[in-house]
């Protein structure tokens, strides 16, 4: 009889859990939806400055127009102060992820602030640009997956690598001239 009572207790508990599941699921879904709506209002500052940048690489160095076009389409969204945000960037938490990615990219190389770099850092960055593009490490595959236009053609890669190498060689030669004098 006691066993029978326990059995009925477990059985009734199972029935009440089954009845409670839709209600609990509904509460959880409402909570998640509310959280999703609330986080839409929590936004970091945008990385978009359409004004002319006084420290931009094009101000400090000779950047041919064809190179500048490639840099803007493949690099500037993550490596400058002027990001063109895609439509999906306005949905949280995607915007947070993109913003973090952009901040990391700008820490590594910021074309908008290139003029403020030391000579040693500029030289290093030109060499890194050449290496990253040569090894097809940049632009990132995760970026070109969503931005097909940013994927570099073979000709564009050669163009960027040759330009970066030319700038690095010029800087090294200028540095040697300065040391000699």
Nearest C-alpha neighbor of 123 from the set 173, 167, 70, 60: 167
pLDDT tens digits for range 128-142: 999 999 998 888 787
Q: Where are the beta strands (DSSP E) in 33-103?
A: none
Provide the pLDDT for residue 181.
44
pLDDT tens digits for range 69-112: 999 998 888 899 887 776 766 667 777 677 777 888 889 999 99
Q: Which alpha helices (DSSP H) does 92-118 contain, by range?
A: 94-108
Backbone angles phi, psi at 66, to 5 degrees: -65, -35
How deeply is 72 buried, as exposed, middle or buried, from its count of CB atoms within 10 A (0-12, 13-18, 19+)?
middle
Using CA atoms, how far residue 69 sits from 26, 58, 74, in Å, is 51, 11, 9
Provide the pLDDT for residue 53.
77
Is residue 175 pLDDT above 70, yes or no?
Answer: yes
pTM of this structure: 0.68
Q: In the structure, what pLDDT confidence band is assigned to residue 11 with cuts at 50, 70 and 90?
A: low
Strand, helix or coil for residue 48: strand
Distance CA 38, CA 48 (A): 24
Tokens of 180: 């000699």
Provide the pLDDT for residue 127.
96
Provide the pLDDT for residue 146.
76
pLDDT tens digits for range 24-56: 778 777 877 876 676 666 666 665 666 667 888
């Amino acid at each position: 009889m006691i066993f029978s009572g326990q059995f009925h207790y477990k059985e009734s508990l199972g029935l009440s859990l089954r009845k409670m599941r839709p209600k609990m699921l509904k509460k959880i879904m409402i909570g998640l939806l509310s959280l999703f709506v609330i986080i839409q209002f929590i936004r970091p500052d945008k990385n978009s400055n359409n004004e002319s940048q006084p420290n931009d690489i094009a101000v400090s160095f000779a950047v041919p127009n064809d190179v500048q076009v490639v840099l803007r389409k493949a690099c500037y969204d993550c490596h400058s102060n002027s990001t063109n945000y895609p439509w999906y960037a306005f949905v949280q938490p995607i915007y947070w992820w993109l913003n973090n990615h952009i901040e990391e990219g700008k820490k590594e190389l910021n074309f908008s602030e290139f003029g403020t770099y030391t000579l040693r850092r500029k030289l290093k960055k030109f060499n890194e640009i050449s290496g990253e593009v040569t090894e097809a490490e940049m632009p990132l595959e995760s970026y070109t997956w969503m931005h097909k236009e940013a994927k570099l053609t073979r000709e564009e890669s050669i163009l960027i690598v040759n330009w970066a190498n030319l700038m690095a060689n010029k800087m090294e030669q200028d540095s040697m001239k300065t040391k000699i004098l």
